[in-house]
């Protein structure tokens, strides 16, 4: 891969990081949808595999339903399906990204929704929620975790990656606020890893939380 190819692979990602509104983010991914998977494979995109691996550690295959928050083109859905999770529901900000996911015929349902805003799922519904590459710069705010916790059933899991912008004090405060009120507790965490090892150094982590019983 040449330097110019590498620049092309990451330039769209940088534009997405710079989005100031959910509408701008959606438009950015709509424009990117046709080349997204090629670009991300070329930078060694690690989030989906890391999130799937951490989920498999703690949730038996066959548990259902699973929510893929920020489903994009369905990379997470493919991995979840391959690991034996059959009923996968997804949402994303970009309709064009979801068109690619829908074509894979993996998801039981896909809808356009935005993390940081109310989700149209019932309380205590999902066996697990995954979010791969969603909680990062220019994407979902940490307040989006509140809705993901709400739709997870008691005893269910939340498995999500965190980008560098949130690692440290920002997430520690959010996690402690939810833990102190008996909403969730930490189950597991990956070691820091580079989410785009063939391009930029973006050091991230994956966390696994369990929703506490009411």
Q: What pLDDT digit, counting tens, does each position of 143-157 carry? A: 999 999 999 999 999
> Residue 89 is encoded by which pair of tokens?
């529901």
In the chain the first and final C-alpha atoms are separated, in Å, by 52
> Residue 147 is encoded by which pair of tokens?
């809705």
Domain holding 50, by residue range, is 3-211
Looking at residue 6, its pLDDT comes to: 45
Looking at residue 14, its pLDDT comes to: 53
Q: What is the pLDDT of residues 93-142, one digit of tens each?
A: 999 999 999 999 999 999 999 999 999 999 999 999 999 999 987 779 99
Q: Measured between alpha carbons, how far is 113 from 28 in angstroms, rounded to an integer?
A: 15
CATH of the domain at 11: 3.40.50.150
Q: Measured between alpha carbons, how far is 46 from 203 in angstroms, rounded to an integer?
A: 11
Looking at residue 96, its pLDDT comes to: 92
Q: Assess contact for 206 and 54: CB atoms under 8 A.
A: yes
Phi, psi angle pair for 67, to nearest 5°: -100, 125
**186-192: average pLDDT:** 98
Q: Which residues contact 1 (CB under 8 A, 6 or more apart)?
A: 9, 42, 198
More confident residue, 159 or 200: 159
Q: Is the pLDDT of residue 2 over 60?
A: no
Among residues 166, 118, 113, 112, the alpha carbon closest in space to that of 142 is found at 166
Q: Measured between alpha carbons, how far is 54 from 139 in angstroms, rounded to an integer?
A: 22
Q: Measured between alpha carbons, how far is 155 from 162 in angstroms, rounded to an integer?
A: 22
Domain tally, the chain: 1
Q: Measured between alpha carbons, how far is 87 from 65 in angstroms, rounded to an integer?
A: 5
pLDDT band at 73 (very low <50, low <70, confident <90, very high): very high
Q: What is the pLDDT of residues 31-61, one digit of tens each?
A: 767 788 999 899 999 999 999 999 999 999 9
**174-190: average pLDDT:** 97
pLDDT band at 67 (very low <50, low <70, confident <90, very high): very high
Q: Is the pLDDT of residue 22 over 80?
A: no
Looking at residue 10, its pLDDT comes to: 54
Q: What is the DSSP letter of 52?
A: H
Looking at residue 178, its pLDDT comes to: 97
Token pair 């440290």 is found at 168
Token pair 């890391």 is found at 50
Looking at residue 143, its pLDDT comes to: 96
Among residues 64, 105, 69, the alpha carbon closest in space to that of 86 is found at 64
Q: Is the dihedral of CA 27, 170, 71, 126 positive or negative?
A: negative
């Amino acid at each position: 891969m040449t330097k110019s190819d590498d620049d092309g692979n990451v330039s769209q990602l940088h534009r997405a990081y710079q989005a100031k509104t959910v509408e701008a983010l959606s438009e950015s991914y709509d424009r990117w949808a046709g080349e997204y998977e090629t670009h991300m494979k070329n930078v060694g995109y690690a989030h989906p595999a890391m999130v799937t691996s951490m989920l498999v550690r703690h949730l038996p295959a066959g548990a259902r339903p699973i929510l893929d928050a920020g489903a994009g083109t369905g990379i997470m859905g493919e991995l979840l399906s391959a690991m034996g999770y059959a009923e996968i529901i997804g949402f994303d900000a970009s309709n064009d990204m979801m068109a690619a996911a829908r074509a894979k015929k993996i998801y039981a349902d896909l809808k356009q929704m935005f993390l940081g805003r109310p989700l149209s799922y019932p309380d205590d519904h999902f066996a697990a929620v995954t979010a791969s590459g969603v909680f990062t710069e220019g994407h979902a705010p940490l307040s989006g975790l509140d809705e993901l916790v709400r739709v997870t059933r008691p005893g269910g899991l939340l498995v999500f990656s965190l980008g560098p912008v949130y690692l440290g004090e920002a997430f520690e405060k959010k996690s402690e606020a939810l833990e102190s009120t008996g909403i969730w507790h930490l189950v597991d965490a990956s070691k820091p890893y580079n989410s785009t090892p063939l391009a930029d150094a973006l050091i991230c982590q994956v966390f696994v939380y369990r929703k506490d019983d009411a």
